[in-house]
Chains A and B, each alone.
Chain A
């Protein structure tokens, strides 16, 4: 479709998995879009105006409206452009299970990376163990909830969970090379096998940033000296009540 009415703009950063998953959704649906690279250390008027509440990426701009929050954006994309491929299945119970695990991934697994980044020594060992335990819960939960019909690469196609987990966890090599080893085959064999299969999928392969470029970016962001933005995130983490 041509014309301003159909114009889709994605405000994001190349290094953010939460932005990559939106890009992948747009690409899978064949929706043309303009990508606006944001400098998170120096946020633009465009971002601040379109996500005043959180001031974060990604933000999707469509028909003059702004939609933030990557999982909200993915559902919006699936509901506005109903053509194939569908990202979520039709059955409400299957949708519920996928939404649960997508939320678990973002709210528990992805959040568990922050303590790893900002700790060291024995404390870091412990939080890595905690992280691997969350992956174990994820593995067992998916197995039980989907009973052999893995939601990953279901029927060979990429679906909601593939986008959520794949764009995030398939960057593990860059994280290992820059910060710490967190994904170990022996500790989480099932999760690792999903990652291997996802990494090989051509659409995921072409969407993910090059590992070495990402590793350099992670070092820049998460090793001292920290930018003002990262220092704030670190402070907030260090001051937060620990479980």
Chain B
């Protein structure tokens, strides 16, 4: 099989989506950790436009942007599918994945924002969680149905990073009482045999994210 390499950054939820996809499909790959404050020649070569991770390199061909990468992985390695066959269900998986990416700014402002800006972001994230729980998840085990799908990988951030962020900013928005089904989903996600072996260490994440928030707040004051 041709060489598969992932350029990533271990705290990044976007990088995790790609790793999870490859792991779920049993695709062998080489992982390269990027220092985003000192981007490598390899990253600049394979993603000259956006200079961001994750990047998937397959047989020398770079693919960037996590939703595009996931679609490529799905089409290249069809085993253990992340997308259903039915065109409508496929469309919904893409819709909910995009919905997560649309909320990226709100998540970010909840994390590094202050005052009213942060309050507004918190409200927006909570509304998004409500929408996901009611409309995307419903009574299913995963967003993808009985098995993890593309949308679960995107929303996996709820099962990894969000708790850490809540701890740092001192505000809980994803509480079990308000979101019982989504909490159960997060647990099922974390306990999945493949995902459970590929989760970030929460203590390390806490240190990393704490430093990140301090950095952003410093630059705001500066």
What CA separation (Å) do A179 and B84 show in the bound complex? 44
Main secondary structure of the interface of A (DSSP, over half): helix
CB of B109 within 8 A of CB of A241, answer yes
**Whole-angstrom distance between the Cβ of B146 and the nearest chain A Cβ:** 20
Known: A76-B88, A93-B63. A67 touches B95 (CB 8 A): yes
Q: Is the CB of A95 within 8 A of B98?
A: no
Q: Do B91 and A75 touch across chains, with their CB atoms under 8 A apart?
A: yes
- In the assembled complex, the Cα of A137 lies from the Cα of B49 at a distance in Å of 7
Q: Which residues of A contact B64 (CB under 8 A)?
A: 100
Q: Smallest CB–CB gap between A95 and chain B, Å?
A: 7
- In the docked arrangement, what's the CA distance between A52 and B130, Å? 13
Size range of the interface on B?
A: 20 to 34
Q: Which residues of A contact B65 (CB under 8 A)?
A: 100, 103
Q: Please, which residues of chain A bring their CB within 8 A of the CB of B76?
A: 92
Contact A93 B72 (CB under 8 A): yes
Interface residue count for A (Cβ, 8 Å)?
25
Contact A73 B71 (CB under 8 A): no
Instruction: Please pick, from A53, A69, A80, the residue contacting B87 in the complex, using a CB distance under 8 A.
Output: A80
A72 at the interface (CB under 8 A from B): yes
Nearest Cβ on chain A to B22's Cβ, whole angstroms? 15
B98 touches A96 (CB 8 A): no
Is B131 in contact with chain A by the CB < 8 A criterion?
yes
* A199 in the interface (beta carbon within 8 A): no
Cβ of B91 and Cβ of A103 under 8 Å apart?
Answer: no
Q: Are A72 and B98 in contact (CB under 8 A)?
A: yes
Contacts of B58 in A (CB 8 A): 93
The contact string, 1 if C-beta is below 8 Å from chain B, for chain A 80-113, is: 1000000000001101100110011000000000
A80 to chain B: closest CB distance in Å? 4
18 intermolecular pairs with C-beta atoms under 8 Å apart: A53-B99, A53-B135, A65-B88, A67-B92, A69-B98, A72-B94, A75-B91, A80-B87, A92-B75, A93-B61, A95-B71, A96-B68, A96-B69, A100-B68, A103-B65, A103-B67, A104-B49, A241-B109
**Chain A residues in the interface with B (C-beta under 8 A):** 52-53, 62-63, 65, 67-69, 72-73, 75-76, 79-80, 92-93, 95-96, 99-100, 103-104, 137, 141, 241
